[in-house]
Amino acid sequence: MVEAFLLSQIINVYVVFKYVCYFYKKHKEKAPGGVSLVVPQPNINATVAQNILLSVEYFCRGVATIEWKHVSSWGTTSIVEWRSGNYVNISTVYKDRVTTFENGSIQLRNVGMRDAGYYFVTVMEEHGTNAYGTIVVNVYEIIYEDLHFVAVLFAFLAAVSAILICFMWLCNKSLHLFQKKTTHKLTGISPKL
């Protein structure tokens, strides 16, 4: 099962790599002044406190400016903006949580429930050409309360079962003694205690 999953992941990475190589070759043949963007993983599922990589790859003949924004039910937040090789401007909200990469990708550390939503990347080339990409991030909470409830319920049922078994054993012993006394009374022989 694990080998099949790993094999499928390797095949997926290979397909994305081949697509990026093809896209890069096609882009190199274009005239100067264009920008293109590839988003290999448009959907990401994560759990709370996990680190995630919002992976993209852009191709541009000139100098590009990359901008990331997060849109959720809490509003729109600018995450980071940088020009290739020059400066990085990270929002104060994300200051200690974001790492930028030369290919336009960002890593977001220690995600929380508020990090779920849409991440929009814009690559602006100096000649005015833009490319856009979107990544949807779902963040799930690990529900420890449910596990706690199951453990407490299991302990309660085990305790009730133990009490019922002891009660049944006592009832059986009492019934056995009662039958023994009744039998001896009927026969006229006193029971030995």
Q: What's the average pLDDT block by block, 10 residues per block, for the chain (193 residues)?
A: 52 46 45 79 94 94 91 92 84 91 94 95 89 95 73 89 92 86 70 56
Q: Is 0.85 surpassed by the pTM of this model?
A: no
Q: Which pLDDT does position 20 carry in this prediction?
A: 42
Which residues, other chains included, contact 106 with Cβ-Cβ below 8 Å and sequence gap of 6+?
A: 53, 54, 68, 79, 80, 98, 99, 100
Q: Which pLDDT does position 52 carry in this prediction?
A: 97
Residue 110 DSSP code = S
Phi and psi at 50, nearest 5°, equal -90, 155
Q: Which pLDDT does position 148 carry in this prediction?
A: 73
Q: Which pLDDT does position 27 carry in this prediction?
A: 41
